[in-house]
């Protein structure tokens, strides 16, 4: 597998992705030594620095949580619409519960606490 620095111009153009610098604020974290060592091993295996690995983990967690929040709002909107069209609150509750159960597999990431 080629490293990004080894790609020629045509291969880079295939990505069709331009990273735009964004404002950033430095953050200081206290991380247990053993965890930092493990993160360092993972980062080395992936050919990146620990900071990049942590940013990736944070971004992935944020994206999963943001998607879950959007999904929750969608379910709230669905419940409001169902309530307007169905006279039975228990029937609405049953439908929303079924929707939540059917979609729970896709909205909960491994290790997430609910």
Is 22 inside any structural domain?
no
Q: Are 107 and 69 in contact (CB under 8 A)?
A: no
Is 69 inside any structural domain?
yes
Q: Please, what is the average pLDDT of the chain?
A: 82
Residues 6+ apart with CB under 8 A from 56: 48
Is 10 inside any structural domain?
no
For residue 111 the two structure tokens come to 């290790």
pLDDT at 17 over 80: no
Is 77 inside any structural domain?
yes
Looking at residue 107, its pLDDT comes to 47
Is 20 inside any structural domain?
no
pLDDT at 109 over 80: no
Is 12 inside any structural domain?
no
Domain holding 87, by residue range, is 28-107
Per-residue pLDDT tens over the stretch 20-70 = 888 999 999 999 999 999 999 999 999 999 999 999 999 999 998 888 788
pLDDT at 4 over 80: no
What's this model's pTM, rounded to 2 decimal places? 0.54
For residue 90 the two structure tokens come to 């228990």
Per-residue pLDDT tens over the stretch 83-100 = 999 999 999 999 989 988
Is 21 inside any structural domain?
no
How many structural domains are present in the chain?
Answer: 1
């Amino acid at each position: 597998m080629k490293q990004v620095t080894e790609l020629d111009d045509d291969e880079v153009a295939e990505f069709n992705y331009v990273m735009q610098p964004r404002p950033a604020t430095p953050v200081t974290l206290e991380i247990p030594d053993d965890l930092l060592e493990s993160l360092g091993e993972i980062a080395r295996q992936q050919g990146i620095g620990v900071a990049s690995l942590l940013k990736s983990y944070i971004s992935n967690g944020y994206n999963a949580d943001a998607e879950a929040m959007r999904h929750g709002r969608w379910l709230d909107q669905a419940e409001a619409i169902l309530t307007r069209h169905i006279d039975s609150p228990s029937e609405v509750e049953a439908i929303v519960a079924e929707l939540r159960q059917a979609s729970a597999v896709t909205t909960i990431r491994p290790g997430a606490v609910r």
